[in-house]
Amino acid sequence: MKIIPFKKIKEIAQVEDLFEPVKKAFIDYNSTNLIGIPVNLLHFKNNSDAHIKVAAIEGYEYFSIKVATMFPENKKKKLEPYNGTILLFNANTGVPEVVLNDKGILTDLRTAAAGAIITDFIASKNADSASVIGTGIQAYNQVIALSKLRTISSLIIYGRNKDNAALLKNRLKKTLSEAVITIVDSVEEAVKKTEIIITTTSSKIPLIKGEWLKKGQHITAIGADDTLKKEIDLDCFKKADAIFVDSLELNKKYGEYSHVIKSDINFIKKTIEFGTAFKNDDYSNNQNKITLAKLIGLGVQDLAAATTIINKIKLEESLK
């Protein structure tokens, strides 16, 4: 069994390499080729958790099992709070072939790729102002990934911790040198001043209110991926003209949508899965609508990301 160390993965992993594989994975998820995407979540003390995601698609070389962990208290022990590993099994024999010791970096990048491609697909073609709620690694990754697909002329950052917001601004400025980057004091201000809103927090209390939204705005909500977290309130879903989800099955179980759909089953009438949307340009570049994309995170994204890394390594080895 081949073991790919973190150093190698970090060296060759690029978010732009994942755009097409992740998009294809979403489309395959909505096809008869899907075998399954079982998910298990484990919650521990001190807001720690582990996500176990499996994916198998007919015709793929591998099937995958990913374990990603988040233990905030690790900082006090001088350990990384995020970790993870992806296992790839031969889809024809069931033999374990590859261990990617990615320490969660592929989860970060595949999430960024997913958020960026659905945002770019749905949001108005002319939208070039964005806000990011949150200041962690996913806030950074989402903005960088989106900037590779469309121009961001104006970026607003909101974070509870002003020092972290300043660090994020300085880091983003190195890549988005032409963009005007501003830190604001409230979520409301960030939302009202931008066309694209990206949420990347672990909040358990809704941060964005639907009453702040207006036609032409798009929200991509990343952070709430379990039964406890909430970033956007019920009115956001009510005001949205269309709701896009990575998986209807998983959104019924996790995140804000799981509560929304229980309050009114009719929300399903304006809900579209990413894979279905990507196959129909009628859903693309909404200009005079309020749109919302909700991500839980699918095992097929992990499978796509891990396979991309393995294929890059195979190509490198063949050229030696």
Q: Express as a percent the part of the chain with pLDDT over 90.
A: 93
pLDDT surpassing 90 at residue 3 = yes
pLDDT at 168: 98
For 136-187, how does the pLDDT look when each residue is reduced to its tens digit (9 = 90+)?
999 999 999 999 999 999 999 999 999 999 999 999 999 999 999 999 999 9
- Report the CATH superfamily, name and number, of domain 2-106+300-318: ornithine cyclodeaminase, domain 1 (3.30.1780.10)
pLDDT at 258: 95
Of 243, 309, 313, the C-alpha closest to 110 is: 309
What are the residues facing 232 on neighbouring strands?
208
For 81-114, how does the pLDDT look when each residue is reduced to its tens digit (9 = 90+)?
989 999 999 999 999 999 999 999 999 999 999 9
pLDDT surpassing 80 at residue 320 = no
Q: List where CATH 3.40.50.720 sits in the chain.
A: 123-298
Sequence-distant (6+) residues with CB within 8 A of 143 are 130, 132, 152, 155, 172, 176, 198
CB atoms within 10 A of CB 81: 17
DSSP 137-192: HHHHHHHHHHHTTS---EEEEE-SSHHHHHHHHHHHHTT-TTSEEEE-S-HHHHHH
Once rounded to an integer, what is the mean pLDDT over residues 18-41?
95
Sequence-distant (6+) residues with CB within 8 A of 161 are 135
CATH number of 123-298: 3.40.50.720
pLDDT at 208: 98
Q: List where CATH 3.30.1780.10 sits in the chain.
A: 2-106+300-318
Residue 318: pLDDT band (50, 70, 90) is confident
pLDDT surpassing 90 at residue 287 = no
Rounded distance between C-alpha atoms, residue 293 and residue 218, angstroms: 8
Rounded distance between C-alpha atoms, residue 116 and residue 279, angstroms: 17
**How many residues would you count in the chain?**
320
Sequence-distant (6+) residues with CB within 8 A of 208 are 133, 187, 191, 197, 199, 219, 231, 232, 233, 236
Query: Which residue, chain included where needed, has tokens 């209110």?
Result: 209
